[in-house]
Amino acid sequence: MLADYAVRVEQSRGRRYPEPAHPYRNDFQRDRDRVVHARAFRRLEAKTQVFTRRYSDHFRNRLTHTIEVAQISRTIAAQLGLNADLVEALALVHDLGHPPFGHAGEKALDAAMRQHGFSFDHNLHALRIVEDFELRYASFRGLNLTFEVREGIIKHSRDYDAGGHPELAEYLLDLRPPLEAQIIDLTDEIAYNTADLDDGCEAHLLTIEQIAESVEIFEHSYAEVRRSYPSAAERLQFNEALKRVFDRLVGDLISNTRTRVAEAGVHSLEAIRRHPERLATFSPQVEQERRQLKDFLYENLYFSPALEGEKEDAERIVGELFAHWMEEPDDLPRSYREKAAHEPLPRVICDYIAGMTDPFIYQQYEKFCGA
């Protein structure tokens, strides 16, 4: 049963290009399936999340992270009475616009674009992918996703100003997104915060003792586990503690969002949209714990000396390749040379690089910039 404030598929604002109804899948289910079958979705398997395969084949990549976000999001949606089909589609599409090399690649691509008066934003790039770049259908360009999925792509993690982004005017920028979109940014963070602790320990860049000393939410869980399983192997104790951290974050997001919705007295999707702030949040106590965990990861993992070399390599490769194609646009593939006749060259190069996997951008670097 859907809550009265959930998005109902039968009330969708529809697709850019009208299509007949499918006999046994609703429109949000079709959107989910179109994302899963997209080439950009498959490429996520070869894009870095935090760690490259230099450390292990077991670590998360963009694709496995995306699957984890979808699993968490469906669970939360069911508890809050939200539209789980829409939530799943949004979770699966939320990272589609990320370039190779994780956040280091995004930083370098944005820096290269700003030298030419442009910028790079992975949410906006994801919208370009589903609207234009994917070519699978004879009747239209892109995936022709419903309005609600396209809106969620750009609004799940931030609010865009209509004055600064007139091209997004159709997406109700003066209103909040539905709860289905609001929870995606939070489930994304639950997924990567807990996963990065796991992968960080597996890579021996973090220690269990170090985490317990600095991260309160983990410290309490780890102490409980050691009392409950004193003879278990340390790695299993760590796994149990991490599971409890995960459960605390998810459970709090469910209960606090439910409480905030009730206190706000909202009983419709329109009321969610017109509420002055987003209603999907953690409680103040857990929000403080979440920030402490995130700060710990930034200080001890994301900016650790062990990863610095890879980040510098990523930024150098993106920057040098971008500069090469600006100077030698004839080295671009024919389809991108043709696009450059109608679009600014920096944007075309950015689109090309952003779509690459980690292995492919290494190949391109060796081909055009190698000694």
Burial zone of 290 (CB within 10 Å; 0-12 exposed, 13-18 middle, 19+ buried): buried
15 forms beta bridges with 146
Q: Encoding tokens for residue 164? A: 């600064």
Inter-residue contact 242 to 218 (CB < 8 Å): yes
Task: Compute, in degrees rounded to 10, the torsion defined by CA atoms 289, 292, 297, 298.
Answer: 140
User: What is the arithmetic mean of pLDDT over 266-287?
Assistant: 97
- Residue 48 above 90 pLDDT? no
**pLDDT value of position 370:** 82
Question: 310 pLDDT band (50/70/90 cuts)?
Answer: confident
Lowest mean pLDDT across 38-42, 102-106, 353-357, 363-367: 102-106
Q: Among 188-192, 257-261, 270-274, 367-371, whose mean pLDDT is lowest?
A: 367-371
- The answer, yes or no, to whether residue 52 has pLDDT greater than 70, is no
Distance in angstroms (rounded) separating the CA atoms of residues 47 and 89: 20
Can you spell out the DSSP letters for 35-56?
HHTSHHHHHGGGSBSS--TTT-
d(CA 5, CA 260): 13
Average pLDDT over the chain, rounded to an integer: 95
**∠ CA 264-268-269 to the nearest 5 degrees?**
105
* Residue 371, pLDDT score: 58
Share of the chain above pLDDT 70, in %: 98
What is the per-residue pLDDT across 97-129, written as a single tens digit (0 to 9) for each?
999 998 899 999 999 999 999 999 999 999 999
The terminus-to-terminus CA distance of the chain in angstroms comes to 62
pLDDT value at residue 53: 56
Q: What is the CATH number of domain 9-307?
A: 1.10.3210.10
Band of residue 54 on the pLDDT scale cut at 50, 70, 90:
low
Reading the block at residue 316, the tokens are 């150098």
55 pLDDT exceeds 70?
no
What pLDDT, in 10s, does the model give residues 150-162? 999 999 999 999 8
In the chain, where are the structural domains located?
9-307
For the whole model, what pTM was predicted? 0.95
Q: Does pLDDT of 57 surpass 80? A: no
